[in-house]
Amino acid sequence: MISLSILDYSPIDEGSTAGEALQQTTRLAQLAEKIGYKRFWVAEHHQVFSVAGSSPEMLMMHLAGATQNIRIGSGGVMLPHYSSYKVAENFRLMEALHPGRIDLGIGRSRSYRLVNKALNESKGIPVSYEQQIADIQKYFTDDTESEHRFQKLRVTPVSGTAPEMWVLGTGEGSVKVAAEAGAAYAYAHFAKPLKSSAQLIESYKKQFQPSKLLDAPKAMVCVFAVVGETEEEAEDLAKAFDLWLLFVESDTPPPYYPSVETAKQRGFSASELEKVERNRKRMLIGTPKQVKQQIEEIADAYQTDEVLVIPNVSGEDSRMKEIRLLAEVFGLEG
């Protein structure tokens, strides 16, 4: 049986505000918990003015307090920007307040050049990504015996449990990092939906080395999903998603996620249609049954029983309806 989870960007709908978008994320998390989703993750986006999710740790703390049982996580914290020690403190604090419910999803993506400069201003020689992940593991396991440049350093609060640690990625490099670190692995199918990538999780499982945090490999796949009650409704939502992706990739993106009506009225140029065609390969689009079949095919290809769905469609009602429809067709226990 496939477990479904959610990754939300906190999109700012046309005519809405960032504050409203964050409240919508809260309601989406509460609904996801009620209808049987396993995890609810939030993203880290910088200089993307159409989404409100810039600081996952802060939003996670709010969401964990607004829910009871669903796991709350980051998809993900862009670790090269930060001190592993401070990241570990943030997540240990959340784990102490909400034991057994916190996921640390880690990525290595770099932001816009100016954002990267601002986040790393006045820092010294950067620590390698692999070392940063090893540091997180040390801090999560209270290891003061193994050789380390901060051997006797521990992270507080010490609460007896640790967050789950996930490495996010799209290729062999991230697979190798996750496997050698003994961390869970999340493949971003929505970023690189290549058929050849289906072998990556098999490679991860073969290379996996047990750690103090995880004794057996654990993997999931992350997908963009656009679900409507009818094919026509799904296509309308997909066109708005097409336009949002074009906006995000443009030099002067508007600070909102376009409505279905705006996408219909605007249309697309010939050059934009080429980009739309490429981006459509990143999405699962259709009725609940059609998207269920697509999700099952991806889960089978990637040899995983957990899929993280990104319901990044226009309008709070559409996002709420999408996760309800998927919960129903998958028979989630809500």
Q: 268-282, pLDDT tens digit by residue? A: 999 999 999 999 999
**204 and 181 in contact (C-beta within 8 Å)?**
no
Average pLDDT over every residue of 297-323: 97
Task: Look at residue 304 and tell me if it is in a domain.
Answer: yes
Average pLDDT over every residue of 60-83: 96
Average pLDDT over every residue of 63-78: 97
The DSSP letter of residue 11 is B
pLDDT on residue 206? 97
Task: Look at residue 22 and tell me if it is in a domain.
Answer: yes
Q: Which two tokens stand for residue 140?
A: 């999560």
Q: Which two tokens stand for residue 185?
A: 């692995």
Per-residue confidence at 111, pLDDT binned at 50, 70, 90? Answer: low
Task: Look at residue 40 and tell me if it is in a domain.
Answer: yes
pLDDT on residue 110? 65
Would you say residue 102 has pLDDT above 90? yes
Domain count, the chain: 1
Q: 253-271, pLDDT tens digit by residue? A: 899 999 999 999 998 999 9
Q: Could you tell me which of 95, 78, 169, 73 has the C-alpha nearest to residue 139?
A: 95
Task: Look at residue 325 and tell me if it is in a domain.
Answer: yes
Task: Look at residue 257 and tell me if it is in a domain.
Answer: no
Task: Look at residue 104 and tell me if it is in a domain.
Answer: yes
Q: Which two tokens stand for residue 99?
A: 């034991």
The DSSP letter of residue 128 is P
Task: Look at residue 167 and tell me if it is in a domain.
Answer: yes
Q: Give the position of tokens 């993900």.
A: 76
Task: Look at residue 30 and tell me if it is in a domain.
Answer: yes
- Give me the percent of the chain exceeding a pLDDT of 90: 88
Per-residue confidence at 47, pLDDT binned at 50, 70, 90? Answer: confident
Q: Which residue type, as a one-letter code, is found at position 274?
A: E
Range of the domain at 177: 3-234+284-330
Provide the terminal-to-terminal Cα distance of the chain, rounded to the nearest Å: 15
Q: What CATH number has the domain bearing residue 172?
A: 3.20.20.30
